[in-house]
Structure 1
């Protein structure tokens, strides 16, 4: 699929990896126009069978996504409530698509992220930040509203109820080290390491069998179900993969390369990459 006619997103494909770079100066505020492009991209990605990993990053090293356009919210508030219901539902739908599409979604957050930008990031599968530079802020309650882009539901699931209340009601900056410790970020990395780390992870995931990647994400998504239901669903997905030609081939290759030997198991991370390489 060709990703065309975007003005605020620069989109590049590298095999099964698609990377979108936000470039909406001066600070990457989520204007109605940028929201429209992000929403359209989520629809196109969800329908793209050739993409396995999606990375979102920013051209501005100081701002990932500032927040939703407050001026636009004021305009909406001056009009009929139905307009807000439509916008809110569309934002929820966009976040839901990123969260549940059969692609691995990664947010590479090198600067500030706030409000709706943080909520969008929370809908991604993984988030990586920069030590001493990535800052998260939920500024909605101080301006008289609440995080309405799925944040009040996603943040407690990420970091727990008490910490979510602290972040959202306090309106204070959350630094990268704390965000990593609390689970908001997967990792906080040095500024000169994040790009290489995310790129290497994306390539590694994209090298593995696509069906296994997609169904593993789907199974992890079932963790919100009652445990018994999630385990039953896991069993079905496991069997679907186990009886595939791809799995049989990869398992045989694993053993050929030294799996289940002392030497092989002591280097299993590298061995996994060799299996993927064929």
Structure 2
């Protein structure tokens, strides 16, 4: 496997470990190009017996992956165009993508630095493990401030990691979590001092990669089976619920356009995204106006 030709990813394979670096300036937005590259990588890697561990990381120390592209709110057809004809048609394209990553036979690790919000943290939650640079990483599910909720698998992944009560706090509170609290909630496996993060993740990846063939994949299967109802049982329910709020009504879309004019999907706007979203007032509307 060559793992070349990507627009937004740089892939390096060494000693059965693939390091997948997201490089989609300015803030690693999960847009069409990145989604297609991630899907293509997952397709290639799935059948590659020379890879035992996959590390997802970022070229930008300020942003692991900002969030899904705001343009998809303005033109939902841009998202639906990413649908995978070979995946479950009851799921939306982001669910399909994240499930392809979650279902990879290799052990997957998200190594986080900077901001990981919405579709960005959903991508990280699709990985088997998450390790973050302490005090240099921030997590958030701010979708409720955009008039939606996490719909790329986020409600299902999050509920399994932190439990229902904390998942509701994260989803509806839409606050930015720093690493010590995210670690305590179980959103992260571990927060590691920034200067030690690379060595820690590399050491773990090498130990896993050195296991006899088949051991890690079998362990993943057994651990998934330990959850009586399956690892992620209700993505179709999440998709149906998300369809109630997306595509968004015109007033919500207009509000997001204002956010874009004030710095959305730019570096300066993204570091204060929750405050930026909260600063734009909601228009009063009846629930019946949703299209």
TM class, shorter-chain normalised?
0.7 to 0.9
Q: Deviations over 1:127-184 (max 9, x none)?
A: 0001111100111111111111000111011001011011110111011001111111
Q: How many angstroms does 1:84 deviate by?
A: 7.6
Question: Structure 1: which 5+ residue stretches go unaligned?
Answer: 228-278
1:202 aligns with 2:205: yes
Q: How many angstroms does 1:226 deviate by?
A: 5.8
Counterparts of 2:47 and 2:95, CA distance in 1: 18
1:212 aligns with 2:204: no
Alignment RMSD, CA only?
1.9
SS at match of 1:94: helix
Q: Verify the 8 A CA contact 1:102 1:218 in the aligned structure 2.
A: no
1:5 aligns with 2:5: yes
Corresponding residue number in structure 2 for 1:241 = none
Q: How many angstroms does 1:209 deviate by?
A: 0.7
Alignment equivalent of 1:83, drawn from 80, 83, 93: 80
Corresponding residue number in structure 1 for 2:137 = 134
Q: How many angstroms does 1:210 deviate by?
A: 1.9
- Normalised by the length of structure 1, the TM-score is 0.77
- Normalised by the length of structure 2, the TM-score is 0.73
Counterparts of 1:73 and 1:46, CA distance in 2: 31
SS at match of 1:131: strand
Structure possessing the higher radius of gyration over alpha carbons = 1
For structure 1, which segment, 95-104 or 170-179, has the greater mean C-alpha deviation from structure 2 after superposition?
95-104
Counterparts of 2:204 and 2:129, CA distance in 1: 11
Q: Verify the 8 A CA contact 2:36 2:82 in the aligned structure 1.
A: no
Alignment equivalent of 1:222, drawn from 210, 220, 225: 225
Looking at secondary structure, tell me which structure has more helix per residue.
1
Counterparts of 2:16 and 2:206, CA distance in 1: 9
SS at match of 2:226: helix
Counterparts of 1:205 and 1:52, CA distance in 2: 7
Counterparts of 1:50 and 1:117, CA distance in 2: 27
Corresponding residue number in structure 2 for 1:23 = 23
Corresponding residue number in structure 2 for 1:265 = none
Q: Which has the higher contact order (CA 8 A, sep 6+)?
A: 2
Counterparts of 2:189 and 2:198, CA distance in 1: 14
